[in-house]
Amino acid sequence: MSVMPFGDKSLDLSLPHVMGILNVTPDSFSDGGSFNSLDNALQQTEKMLQEGASLIDVGGESTRPGASPVSTQQELDRVLPVIEAIKKRFDTIVSVDTSTAEVIRGAAALGAGLINDVRALEREGALLAASETELPICLMHMQGNPESMQNSPSYQSVVDDVSGYLLSRVAVCEKLGIAKSRLLLDVGIGFGKSLEHNLTLINQMGRFKELGFHLLTGVSRKTMIGDVLNLPVSDRLFGTMGANASAYKSGSRLFRVHDVKPHVEMLALMSRIEREI
Ligand code: 7PJ
């Protein structure tokens, strides 16, 4: 057992868990913003929970390659009503996919259970805001920023560079009194990485597990799947599952996905088989 608190609930992270993606952006790349009304967001949440999601990840800032920044007010207006409605209606863990201090504070006040930050709390004020919530935090690696990160990503050694960065963010968190036990790590598939970088990071995910943190993987429908299979976003489920299965075998236990049911079933088998051996 490896139970981690997520706000008013907790998860046993010796078992795999699926985090369902709920984009509340009008321009999100793979679901085109079709869930950007409150009703649609709640319907999608209900479906993902019925399919076995353990958490719902609510994000109001598109971080797809080339995306333009969103104002704090816009992000607050998109995200907070959805979090409030989900917490009112469903008994689940809401994760907030944000880098913005005001959104972190607002989400925590409404009962969010996880801060998921693709900028690893580097944005002004985010570190302090996150520390004050006492919630768990997922620190993700990104090289550059969404506007330009795919232009020419380069590393000395992608595994060493990403793990060095994540450990440096862990150290900064610890300085502010954030206990290591509150932190999850994510290599940041697709965030300033070539196809080779992404493949290496998944191949070497065990190296990140050795750092002693729980790992989250976000590869759902991403460009790397399309690059390997030469398939559009709409046809990337099976490839996504292959990448997530590989990450599971290397120790990742949280999977941020669009397609909940196939992942819940795949991971149930992988986990069961692992325990029977
Ligand atoms: C990730 C994320 C990811 C974590 C996004 C997309 C882009 N959060 N938020 N990890 N990706 N922790 O879904 O394509 O990989 S947004």
Domains of the chain, by residue range, sit at 3-275
Which of 140, 208, 216, 227 to probe ligand 1 with, by most ligand atoms within 8 A of CB?
Answer: 140
CATH architecture of 3-275: Alpha-Beta Barrel (3.20)
Average per-residue pLDDT for the chain: 94
pLDDT band at 4 (very low <50, low <70, confident <90, very high): very high
Give distance in angstroms: CA of 139 to centre of ligand 1: 11
What integer pLDDT is reported at residue 31 of this predicted model?
A: 52
- Between residues 75 and 28, the one the model is more confident about: 75
> Please, is 46 exposed, middle or buried when counting C-beta atoms within 10 Å of its C-beta (0-12, 13-18, 19+)?
middle
For the cut 70, the answer to whether the pLDDT of residue 221 exceeds it is yes
- Ligand 1 atom 6 nearest Cα: 64
pLDDT digits 0-9 by tens, 202-212: 999 999 999 99
For the cut 90, the answer to whether the pLDDT of residue 52 exceeds it is yes
Which of 253, 256, 257, 258 to probe ligand 1 with, by most ligand atoms within 8 A of CB?
Answer: 256
pLDDT digits 0-9 by tens, 77-119: 999 999 999 999 999 999 999 999 999 999 999 999 999 999 9
> Please, is 169 exposed, middle or buried when counting C-beta atoms within 10 Å of its C-beta (0-12, 13-18, 19+)?
buried
- Ligand 1 atom 16 nearest Cα: 63
pLDDT band at 67 (very low <50, low <70, confident <90, very high): confident
For the cut 80, the answer to whether the pLDDT of residue 225 exceeds it is yes
- Nearest ligand 1 atom, CA 138: 12
pLDDT band at 18 (very low <50, low <70, confident <90, very high): very high
Give the integer Cα–Cα distance in Å for 276 and 194: 37
pLDDT digits 0-9 by tens, 138-161: 999 999 999 888 888 999 999 999
Specify the length of the chain in residues: 277
Asked whether the CA dihedral 88, 58, 186, 124 is positive or negative, the reply is negative
Give distance in angstroms: CA of 34 to centre of ligand 1: 18
pLDDT band at 68 (very low <50, low <70, confident <90, very high): confident
Give distance in angstroms: CA of 26 to centre of ligand 1: 16
- Ligand 1 atom 11 nearest Cα: 218
Share of the chain above pLDDT 90, in %: 88
Radius of gyration of the chain (CA): 17
Give distance in angstroms: CA of 236 to centre of ligand 1: 16
In the predicted model, what is the mean pLDDT of residues 63-76? Answer: 88
Catalytic residues: 222, 256
Give distance in angstroms: CA of 72 to centre of ligand 1: 19
pLDDT band at 249 (very low <50, low <70, confident <90, very high): very high
Among the residue ranges 32-36, 177-181, 221-225, 261-265, the one predicted with the least confidence is 32-36
Give the pocket of ligand 1 (CB within 6 Å).
63-64, 97, 116, 118, 138, 140, 186, 188-189, 216, 218, 222, 256
- Ligand 1 atom 3 nearest Cα: 218
> Please, is 88 exposed, middle or buried when counting C-beta atoms within 10 Å of its C-beta (0-12, 13-18, 19+)?
exposed
For the cut 80, the answer to whether the pLDDT of residue 2 exceeds it is yes
For the cut 90, the answer to whether the pLDDT of residue 170 exceeds it is yes
For the cut 60, the answer to whether the pLDDT of residue 32 exceeds it is no
For the cut 80, the answer to whether the pLDDT of residue 256 exceeds it is yes
For the cut 90, the answer to whether the pLDDT of residue 163 exceeds it is yes
